[in-house]
Amino acid sequence: MSHLNNVLVRVENAAKTINLDSQTLDTLRGFKLDWGCDIEARMDDGNTRRFKAVRIWHRSPHVDQPYKGGLRFHPNVDADTMKAHAIEMSIKCWKMGLEWGGAKGGVAIDPAKHSAQELKTVTEKLVDEMDERNILGPFRDVPAPDVGTNPKIMNWIRQRYAQRRRHREDARFAGVVTGKPVGYGFGGIPGRNEATGYGLVSVLDRVIRKYRLYNFDKSSGIKTRVAVMGFGNVGSHVVRFINERFPHFKIIAVGDVSGGVYNSNGLDITKLNEHIQTTKNVIDAPNSTSLTNDELLELDCDILIPAALENVITSDNADRIKAKIILEGANGPTTPEADEVLKSRNILVIPDILANAGGVTVSFFEWARNVSIKDERVPTPETNKVLKRLNEMMVASTNEVIETAELYHTDLRNAAYINAIRRAAPLLRTKHLAE
């Protein structure tokens, strides 16, 4: 089953739980924008290459508010996968109380195989194509970093958009993207880069406390074992904040696209990061044993954090997962079939749309400041204040999801979908009647 079908199943399950009317459910299954094109870009060798580009908008209940979602550079970018992620972004935003519709898109390109100049050329061509169709804009569509993209690429988008609009590049145009560099003239906000990882740990902390999971408490005297699949921006910050908040935890395994490394006594994260700076991957890190990512998923550990791509925990391997808690850092790492297996084995899944909402929440802070939106939720732009406000919102959202799960006797994932849909449904009905 495709990732899109997986997401639609989850929407339908939540709708069934709350007896949602069929018309609103049909709206939730639809899309406002389904756009794609071929980008032609000149490479460093003088030859022109074509790359498939996609941008999707899910249905939004919010009038005159932008669509929001990541922009990825990855060889496997396709419309169906982006549709799935656009729906997930809607659910994530609505659950957090953010007045946005979900979006997702990208370019089918492998950044590792291209120079910085080639990536800049592709980025600028993408902006040209999107702007020609009036897709981009601070109140139209606001991309953010995703797999294969970063603050530098977001700044290229900002620059090209401002250039095309023939205006001075100032804060009025910074709101066209979020996740920009921090500093004078860029428009980024401190804390955005680490927000997703920080939010994951905030949610984990609240779940452990709420469910009184004493096996994970330092008073037990037992070191809690953590394995992280995906050691990019999200995974590396998760590890950092786990070490800061839970000194009684130990990171026994991490993985990236090259494979994984393992030490039953805990990896030396400082030496691991130094190794990555030199080699650009985790393989052969000091005092570690190599393993595959498949083996990492099935390690004997307490907490498993899949923070890479979608559909890595499936019906094929769910019965071999040994973790007691799965904290989803990636979007859609677990299939619905795997969910059922994990549930039958009493493995607690903290779902992506709750756990990894930190990134989009701080993106909201950044965007609101860029476009001069007055909102009491938006903190002053200092890292500690941004992360403090983020923690407050993540904890509140987690409490809400847990209460909904208890009310409907359901799991955390279904509860999170229920919260989001209940918040959006009345607005969707009103908007439908007005159209």
Task: Map out the domains of the chain as residue ranges.
Answer: 28-188+361-373+409-435, 195-355
Q: What is the pLDDT of residue 434?
A: 44
Q: How confident is the model at residue 167 (pLDDT cuts 50, 70, 90)?
A: low
Starting from the edge strand earliest in sequence, which strands make up the sheet with 249-256, in order?
A: 289-291, 259-262, 249-256, 224-229, 303-306, 325-327, 348-350
Spatial contact of 289 and 261, defined as CB atoms under 8 Å apart: yes
Q: Is 154 helix (H, G, I), strand (E, B) or coil?
A: helix
Position 435 pLDDT exceeds 60: no
What pLDDT does 217 receive?
54
State yes or no: pLDDT of 39 exceeds 90: yes
pLDDT at 433: 44
Q: Say which residue, 62 or 24, is predicted with more confidence.
A: 24
Q: Measuring CA to CA, which residue among 214, 6, 50, 40 is closest to residue 124?
A: 40
Q: Do domains 28-188+361-373+409-435 and 195-355 have the same CATH topology?
A: yes
Question: pLDDT tens across 335-362, in order?
Answer: 999 999 999 999 999 999 999 999 999 9
The pLDDT value recorded for residue 85 is: 95
Q: 3-state class of 146 per DSSP? A: coil
Over residues 378-386, mean pLDDT: 93
- Is the domain covering 195-355 a CATH 3.40.50.720 domain? yes
pLDDT band of residue 220 (cuts 50, 70, 90) is: low
* pLDDT classification of 412: cutoffs 50, 70, 90: very high
Residue whose pair of structure tokens reads 């903290």 in the numeric block: 350
In this predicted structure, what is the pLDDT of residue 394? 98
Which residues are the active-site residues? 104
Which residues face 58 on adjacent strands? Answer: 31
What span, in angstroms and rounded, lies between the C-alpha atoms of 173 and 169? 7
d(CA 370, CA 353): 25
Question: What pLDDT is recorded for position 214?
Answer: 52
Q: How far apart are CA 50 and CA 237, in angstroms?
A: 35
Closest listed residue to residue 352, CA positions, set 323, 324, 331, 371: 331
User: Using an 8 Å Cβ cutoff, are 185 and 192 in contact?
Assistant: no
Name the 3-class secondary structure at 354: helix
223-234 tens-digit pLDDT: 889 999 999 889
Q: Does domain 28-188+361-373+409-435 have CATH number 3.40.50.1820?
A: no
Task: Identify the pLDDT of residue 280.
Answer: 84
Least confident of 88-92, 184-188, 259-263, 403-407: 184-188
Mean pLDDT of 189-216: 88
